[in-house]
C-alpha cells in the first residue's frame, strides 16, 4: 500500500504558522507531565535516504526541554557492539523513567539492509522480526511509550534530492555511491519495507507513515503524532495513579482535531473518473464470466479454497458486483455469505468465531458481503467495541488470513470506492424508485454523516491489513461497469496466479 500513499500533501505557510506554536507548547507540557509521572518515551525515525530525518528530528526537539531527551544516531555497529548480541546497544540506549530518547534509524535499518541485500535467510529475517517485537513488547510492558515513524518519499523525490545535494559543493560529500545503489533498489526496498511494517506493527508499537515531501506537513504530522500518543499514554498513567489530569492542556486544540489533515492518504489518491464504454463492458463481461466458471471447476479439482471479501461504502455496488461475478458460476461451488449484526450466539463468542465457521472447504468459494473488517470499520466508528478491541483486531485478522493463506487459500479483498456526491445521487435514486426504496434506511443517512471518520478507518485498515498473502484491491466504483469488470478480472487473476 505504500506506493499508493498520497505524497503530494502540503501545508501552506500561513496555516503552518497558525498551528505550530500551539502544538509546540502542548508537546512541551506533555513532556513535563511524562517526566513527573516517570514515563519513558522512545521515538524512532526510520525512512528513505534523503527523506529528511535529521531536519525533522531537529523540528521535533525544538519543542522539547533539552534536559529531558537524548538523540542517538544509529549507524553501523562499532567494534564494541559487534562483540555483543545485536540488541545490546539498543538496550543501552533505552530511556529511563521520565526521559525521551529519539533514535535516528534503529534496529530496523539492519533488517532492511539484510532483506534487500539478500545476505539473510528467511529464518534470519523471521528471527529479526521476533527479536524486534519482543524487545518492544518488553519495554512497553514495563511502561515505555514507543512511537515508530517512517519518513516516506517517492523514488522521484529521492532522486531529485540526491541530485540537489550532489550539485552543491557544500553537501556533495553526503551523497555516496551506496546512496545511489540504494536508490536503484528503491522498488525492491519498498516491498521489504512493507513487509517489515506488517510484521512489526504491534499494538504496543505501531508504525506511522510520515509523508515527507513537504517539510511543514511532515513537521506537523510528526508533532501531532507524538502528542496524540503521549496524551493517550498519560491518560492511562493518570488513571492508574489515580491522579487528576492537569487541566492546563485542555486549553489546547486536541490532537485529534488535526487528524483530518493527516489521514486519508490512500482513498484520496483513487481516480474515480475511470469508466467503460457499454459495448466494451458487455463483451468483456461475457468472456470473464465464462472464464470464472472454468476456474471454479479447476479450483474444485485442485482443492483450492477461495475467499472473496467485499467491503465498501453504502450503495457502492457490492451486491451488483457479486451478482455479475457469480452470474455464470456453478451454484454448488460457491456460497455468498451476507454479514449483518451478530446474533446472540455469535456475540457470546470471539468476534472471529463466526468467520472461522464459514471458512470454505478446500475447492469451494466463499463470497463475503461485508466481513470481519466490520470490527475496524463500523464497530470502530460507531463505538460498538472498545478501542483496544479494534486496535488488536488488525493483528488478529492478519493472523487469521495468514493461517488461511498458509493452508493454500486464495484471498481477494475488495474495497468499492465511490465519492460522497455519487453516494448521495444513488441514495436519492433509490428513494425515487419504489422497487429499491427498501434498500435505503435512516442508518444509511446517519453513516453518511460520519464519512470522514470512516475514511480514516478505511485508510488505517488498508495500511495495517494489506499483506503479501492477502492484499486489498481498491475498486474505483463511481462507474458501476468499470467496478464490475475490475472485480471479476481481479478474481480471475488471483486464481490464475495460484493454479
Minimum gap (Å) between residue 499 Cβ and a copy of itself: 18
> Contact at 8 Å (CB) between 410 and 366?
no
Pairing of strands 365-369, 145-152: unpaired
Phi, psi torsion values for 380, nearest 5 degrees:
-70, -50
Nearer to a copy of itself by Cβ, of 14 and 348: the residue is: 348
| Residue in 3, 18, 21, 127 binding a copy of itself, rule: CB under 8 A | 127
Minimum gap (Å) between residue 231 Cβ and a copy of itself: 23
Find the binding residues for a copy of itself in span 416-445 (CB under 8 A). Answer: none
Considering the rule CB under 8 A, would residue 242 count as an interface residue with a copy of itself? Answer: no
Residue whose entry in the numeric block shows the C-alpha cell 454479514: 339
| Residue in 66, 67, 76, 141 binding a copy of itself, rule: CB under 8 A | 141
| Residue in 16, 353, 427, 469 binding a copy of itself, rule: CB under 8 A | 353
DSSP reduced 3-state for 419: coil
Minimum gap (Å) between residue 89 Cβ and a copy of itself: 9
Grid coordinates standing for 280?
466494451
Pairing of strands 100-104, 334-338: unpaired
> Contact at 8 Å (CB) between 228 and 221?
no
- How far apart, in whole angstroms, are the C-alpha atoms of residue 65 and residue 94? 18
- Annotate each residue in 80-119 with x if it binds a copy of itself (CB under 8 A) or - if it does not, as one string: x-xxxxxxx--xx-x-xxx---------------------
> Contact at 8 Å (CB) between 56 and 160?
no
- How far apart, in whole angstroms, are the C-alpha atoms of residue 47 and residue 20? 23
Minimum gap (Å) between residue 102 Cβ and a copy of itself: 17
Considering the rule CB under 8 A, would residue 396 count as an interface residue with a copy of itself? Answer: yes
Grid coordinates standing for 250?
485542555
The torsion region of residue 487 among left (phi > 0), alpha (psi -120 to 50) and beta comes to: alpha
> Contact at 8 Å (CB) between 184 and 158?
no
Nearer to a copy of itself by Cβ, of 86 and 186: the residue is: 86
Nearer to a copy of itself by Cβ, of 241 and 431: the residue is: 241
Nearer to a copy of itself by Cβ, of 164 and 347: the residue is: 347
Considering the rule CB under 8 A, would residue 406 count as an interface residue with a copy of itself? Answer: yes
| Residue in 58, 73, 126, 248 binding a copy of itself, rule: CB under 8 A | 126
Considering the rule CB under 8 A, would residue 335 count as an interface residue with a copy of itself? Answer: no
Considering the rule CB under 8 A, would residue 144 count as an interface residue with a copy of itself? Answer: yes
Angle of helix 480-498 versus helix 318-326 axis, rounded to 10: 50
Nearer to a copy of itself by Cβ, of 149 and 409: the residue is: 409
Considering the rule CB under 8 A, would residue 121 count as an interface residue with a copy of itself? Answer: no
Q: Residue 463's closest CA among 409, 412, 405, 398?
A: 398
Q: Mark the segment that binds a copy of itself (CB under 8 A) among 8-16, 192-200, 281-289, 345-353.
A: 345-353
Minimum gap (Å) between residue 492 Cβ and a copy of itself: 23
| Residue in 12, 58, 294, 407 binding a copy of itself, rule: CB under 8 A | 407
- Annotate each residue in 172-211 with x if it binds a copy of itself (CB under 8 A) or - if it does not, as one string: ----------------------------------------
Give the chain's largest Cα–Cα span: 77
Could you tell me which residues are beta bridge partners of residue 263?
none
Tally of CB atoms within 10 A around 109 = 16
| Residue in 102, 409, 440, 483 binding a copy of itself, rule: CB under 8 A | 409
- How far apart, in whole angstroms, are the C-alpha atoms of residue 34 and residue 233? 9
Contacts of 383-391 spanning 24+ positions with Cβ under 8 A: 385/351, 388/203, 391/203
Minimum gap (Å) between residue 254 Cβ and a copy of itself: 27
Tally of CB atoms within 10 A around 160 = 14
Minimum gap (Å) between residue 465 Cβ and a copy of itself: 15
Find the binding residues for a copy of itself in span 363-382 (CB under 8 A). Answer: 363
DSSP reduced 3-state for 52: coil
Could you tell me which residues are beta bridge partners of residue 410?
306
Grid coordinates standing for 31?
513532556
Phi, psi torsion values for 168, nearest 5 degrees:
-90, 120
Size of the site for a copy of itself (CB under 8 A): 51
Considering the rule CB under 8 A, would residue 352 count as an interface residue with a copy of itself? Answer: yes
Q: Mark the segment that binds a copy of itself (CB under 8 A) among 22-30, 76-84, 335-343, 437-445.
A: 76-84
Q: Mark the segment that binds a copy of itself (CB under 8 A) among 13-21, 75-83, 274-282, 481-489.
A: 75-83
> Contact at 8 Å (CB) between 482 and 274?
yes
Find the binding residues for a copy of itself in span 252-311 (CB under 8 A). Answer: 303, 305
Nearer to a copy of itself by Cβ, of 122 and 432: the residue is: 122
Phi, psi torsion values for 129, nearest 5 degrees:
-60, -45
Instruction: Tell me which residues touch a copy of itself (CB under 8 A).
Output: 38, 40, 80, 82-88, 91-92, 94, 96-98, 122-123, 126-127, 131, 134, 138-139, 141-142, 144, 303, 305, 345, 348-353, 356-357, 359-363, 392, 396, 399, 403-404, 406-407, 409
Amino acid at each position: 500500500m505504500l506506493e499508493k500513499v498520497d505524497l503530494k500533501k502540503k501545508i501552506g505557510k500561513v496555516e503552518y504558522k497558525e498551528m505550530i506554536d500551539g502544538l509546540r507548547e502542548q508537546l512541551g507540557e506533555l513532556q513535563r507531565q511524562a517526566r513527573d509521572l516517570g514515563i519513558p518515551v522512545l521515538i524512532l525515525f526510520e525512512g528513505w535516504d534523503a527523506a529528511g530525518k535529521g531536519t525533522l528530528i531537529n523540528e521535533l526537539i525544538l519543542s522539547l526541554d533539552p534536559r529531558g531527551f537524548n538523540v542517538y544516531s544509529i549507524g553501523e555497529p562499532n567494534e564494541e557492539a559487534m562483540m555483543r548480541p545485536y540488541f545490546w546497544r539498543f538496550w543501552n540506549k533505552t530511556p529511563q523513567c521520565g526521559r525521551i530518547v529519539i533514535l535516528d534509524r534503529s534496529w530496523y535499518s539492519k533488517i532492511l539492509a539484510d532483506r534487500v541485500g539478500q545476505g539473510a535467510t528467511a529464518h534470519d529475517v523471521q528471527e529479526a522480526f521476533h527479536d524486534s517485537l519482543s524487545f518492544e513488547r518488553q519495554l512497553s510492558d514495563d511502561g515505555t511509550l514507543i512511537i515508530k515513524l517512517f519518513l516516506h518519499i517517492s523514488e522521484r523525490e529521492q532522486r531529485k534530492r540526491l541530485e540537489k545535494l550532489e550539485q552543491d559543493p557544500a553537501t556533495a560529500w553526503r551523497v555516496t555511491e551506496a546512496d545511489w545503489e540504494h536508490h536503484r533498489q528503491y522498488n525492491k526496498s519498498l516491498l521489504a519495507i512493507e513487509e517489515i511494517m506488517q510484521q512489526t506493527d504491534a499494538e504496543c508499537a505501531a508504525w506511522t507513515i510520515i509523508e515527507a515531501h513537504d517539510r511543514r506537513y511532515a513537521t506537523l504530522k510528526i508533532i501531532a503524532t507524538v502528542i496524540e500518543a503521549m496524551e493517550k499514554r498519560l491518560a492511562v498513567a493518570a488513571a492508574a495513579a489515580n491522579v487528576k489530569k492537569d487541566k492546563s492542556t485542555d486549553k489546547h486544540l486536541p490532537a485529534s482535531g488535526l487528524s483530518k489533515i493527516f489521514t486519508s492518504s490512500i482513498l484520496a489518491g483513487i481516480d474515480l473518473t475511470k469508466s467503460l464504454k457499454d459495448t466494451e463492458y458487455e463483451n468483456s463481461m461475457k468472456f470473464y464470466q465464462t472464464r470464472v466458471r472454468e476456474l471454479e471447476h479447476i479450483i474444485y479439482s485442485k482443492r483450492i479454497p477461495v475467499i472473496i471479501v467485499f467491503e465498501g461504502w453504502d450503495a457502492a455496488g457490492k451486491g451488483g458486483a457479486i451478482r455479475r461475478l457469480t452470474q455464470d458460476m456453478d451454484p454448488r461451488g460457491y456460497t455468498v455469505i451476507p454479514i449483518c449484526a451478530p446474533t446472540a450466539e455469535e456475540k457470546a463468542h470471539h468476534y472471529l468465531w463466526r468467520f472461522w465457521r464459514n471458512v470454505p472447504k478446500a475447492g469451494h468459494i466463499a463470497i463475503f458481503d461485508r466481513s470481519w473488517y466490520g470490527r475496524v470499520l463500523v464497530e470502530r466508528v460507531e463505538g460498538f467495541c472498545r478501542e483496544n478491541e479494534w486496535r488488536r483486531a488488525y493483528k488478529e485478522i492478519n493472523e487469521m488470513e495468514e493461517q488461511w493463506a498458509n493452508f493454500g487459500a486464495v484471498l481477494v479483498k475488495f474495497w468499492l470506492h465511490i465519492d460522497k456526491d455519487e453516494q448521495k445521487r444513488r441514495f436519492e435514486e433509490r428513494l425515487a424508485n419504489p422497487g429499491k426504496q427498501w434498500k435505503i434506511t435512516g442508518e444509511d443517512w446517519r453513516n453518511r454523516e460520519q464519512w470522514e471518520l470512516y475514511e480514516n478507518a478505511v485508510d488505517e485498515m488498508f495500511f495495517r491489513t494489506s499483506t503479501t498473502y492477502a492484499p486489498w484491491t481498491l475498486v474505483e466504483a463511481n462507474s458501476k461497469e468499470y467496478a464490475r469488470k475490475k472485480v471479476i478480472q481481479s478474481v480471475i487473476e488471483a486464481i490464475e496466479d495460484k493454479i
